[in-house]
Chains A and B, each alone.
Chain A
Amino acid sequence: MPTTKTERVEIRQSDDVVRVRQQTRTLAVEVGLSLVDQTKIVTASSELARNTLDYGGGGEVVLEILDQAGRRGLRLTFEDRGAGIPDIEQALKDGFTTGKGMGLGLGGAKRLCNEFSIASKPGEGTKVIIARWK
C-alpha cells in the first residue's frame, strides 16, 4: 500500500502523549477526515499512546498517510518493548485493567477505528496498528 507521508514520534513521558495527539490531529486534517473522524482517531491515539507509556514502559508511534487508489487514510503503529499482554482477549474486554485506569482504552480504541490489529508476546513487547479511512 503506498504511503505518501511517514512520521515518527517517541513516547517516553506524559508530555509525549500530547505530542502524539497533536501530530495525529495535524495528519488527520491533512488526510481530510471529517471533524468526527478526526476526533475519533485522535482519541484512539491518545489511549494507545498512554498504554504504550504506562504499560509498555515507553516506545514509539509511526504515523502514515496512506493512499489506496485515491482513497486516503491514516495509519498509526504503536510499538513498545515492554512486558507484553498475556491474554489479549481479556485486555480488550471493557472494564478490565491491570492499572488504575477505567479499562476502556484498548477496546475503545478498537471501536473508534476502521482497522485494528494487535500483536503481543509476553516479555517481548506489544504492537498495535490502527487505521481510519476517509
Chain B
Amino acid sequence: MTDVAGSDIASLVSRNEQTILPEWLELQKKAGTLNTGRISEGELQSQSQNFLHLLRDALAKGGNDVSNPVYEPAKAMLNDLSRSRALQGFTPSETATFIFSLKEPLFNALNRDQTLSPEKIAATVWTTTLLLDELGLFTLEIFQKSREEVIIRQQREIAELSTPVVKLWDGILALPLIGTLDSQRTQVVMENLLQTIVDDEAEIAIIDITGVPTVDTLTAQHLLKTVAAARLMGADCMISGIRPQIAQTMVHLGVELNVISKATLADAFGLALRQTGRTVTRIKKGEWQAGLKPKAGEQGA
C-alpha cells in the first residue's frame, strides 16, 4: 500500500476547510448533539473549528500516528471536551460522535479531489480512518475516566455525609448508623465518634444500628472495636436499635456484644440520662401552660 504522509492530509484539510467544517457541523447536528441544549451552536462551531485546526497542524508536522508528540495540543483539547461533556451528562456515543462524524466530510473531500490517483485515495482513507479511530477511542477513554472520578467523589461524599454524630444532651452522643458497614466507612465513623467525644467531653455514646440491614461478624467486629476505642477515651458505649431478627441471627452466629444494648434509641437515651443522674418526669398540664405564658412584667404593649 502506498505510504501517505500526514502533510498530504493536512493540505487536503486546508484546501477544503470551507466545505469540511459545515458538513461536519451538519452531521453533528443531525446526530443530535445540540438537541439536549447542553451546548450552544456557537460553542459547537468553535470547538469543531478549533479541533480541525489542531488536527491539521499536527498532520502538517508530519504525524499520522496519534502517539506522536505533535498531537499533544489536539489531545489536550479533546481531553477538555470529553471531560466537560461527561460532566454535562452527554452519553458516550454522543461524545464520540464528535470525532467519528468527521470521517464522512473528510472522505467526501478526498473523493472530490481530482488530482489524486485512486490508490492514493484508498491509502489516505485508510490512514485517516486509523487516525480518527484512535482519537475517538481516546475521547471515550477520557469520558470513562471522568465518569469514574465523579463516582469516586460521590462515594467519598456519601461516606462522610452518612455518619453524623448527634448530641442528645450534655455529655450524651448518638451515632445513628445507616447502610452497610464496610471497612472504609467504619474508619470514618470511628474517627467522627472519637473526635466528637473529645470535643463534647461526652460520657456516653449511643450507637444506633436501626438502619443497618445486616449485622454479620465483620460488622460486629467493627462495632466492638469502635466501642473499645470509645471506652479507652473514657466514654461508655451503648448499642441500640437491634431488631428482633438481627438479635436472633447474632445469637446463632455466636457473636457476643459485651456492651449494654437496648431495643430502641429511646430506651438507650433513658438509661443514659439515668446514668448521668438525670430523669425525665411528666409535669401537670397546668404547670407547663403556665410555664409557656410570658410573665406579667415582661408582657409587651
Residues of A within 8 A of B (CB): 14, 18, 21, 25, 35-36, 38-40, 42-43, 46-47, 50, 94, 101-102, 104-105, 107-108, 111-112
Contact = CB atoms under 8 A, between A and B. Distances in A.
B249 A47 contact: no
Contacts of A14: 182-183
Contact of A108 (B180, B183, B253): B253
Interface stretch (B79-87, B188-196, B213-221): B213-221
Interface string B25-50: 00000000000000000000000000
Contact of B246 (A39, A101, A112): A39
Nearest to A49: B216
B254 interface: yes
Contacts of A42: 213-214
Contacts of A43: 214-216, 249, 253
A55 to B, nearest CB: 13
Interface size class of B (residues with CB under 8 A): 20 to 34
B282 interface: no
Given A46-B216, A108-B217, A38 B252 contact: no
13 contacts: A14-B182, A36-B244, A39-B249, A42-B214, A43-B249, A46-B214, A101-B217, A101-B218, A102-B217, A105-B217, A108-B254, A111-B252, A112-B252
Given A21-B214, A47-B217, A108 B245 contact: no
A67 to B, nearest CB: 25
Is chain A's binding surface mostly helix, strand, loop or mixed? Answer: helix
B254 A111 contact: yes
A40 B253 CA distance: 9
B248 A39 contact: yes
Nearest to A54: B218
Interface of B: 180, 182-183, 213-218, 220-221, 244-246, 248-249, 252-255
Given A43-B253, A104-B254, A38 B217 contact: no
Contacts, number: 64
Contacts of B217: 47, 101-102, 104-105, 108
Residue with the highest number of chain B CB atoms closer than 10 Å, among A18, A21, A35, A36: A36
Nearest to B244: A36
B249 A112 contact: yes
Given A40-B245, A40-B249, A102-B217, 19 more contacts: A18-B182, A21-B180, A36-B249, A38-B245, A39-B245, A39-B248, A42-B214, A43-B249, A47-B216, A47-B253, A50-B216, A50-B218, A102-B221, A104-B253, A105-B216, A108-B217, A108-B252, A108-B253, A111-B252
A106 B249 CA distance: 14
B184 to A, nearest CB: 9
A43 B243 CA distance: 14
Nearest to A108: B253
Contacts of B255: 102, 104, 108
Contacts of B244: 36
A40 B254 contact: no
Contacts of B214: 21, 39, 42-43, 46
Contacts of B248: 36, 39-40
A14 B183 CA distance: 9
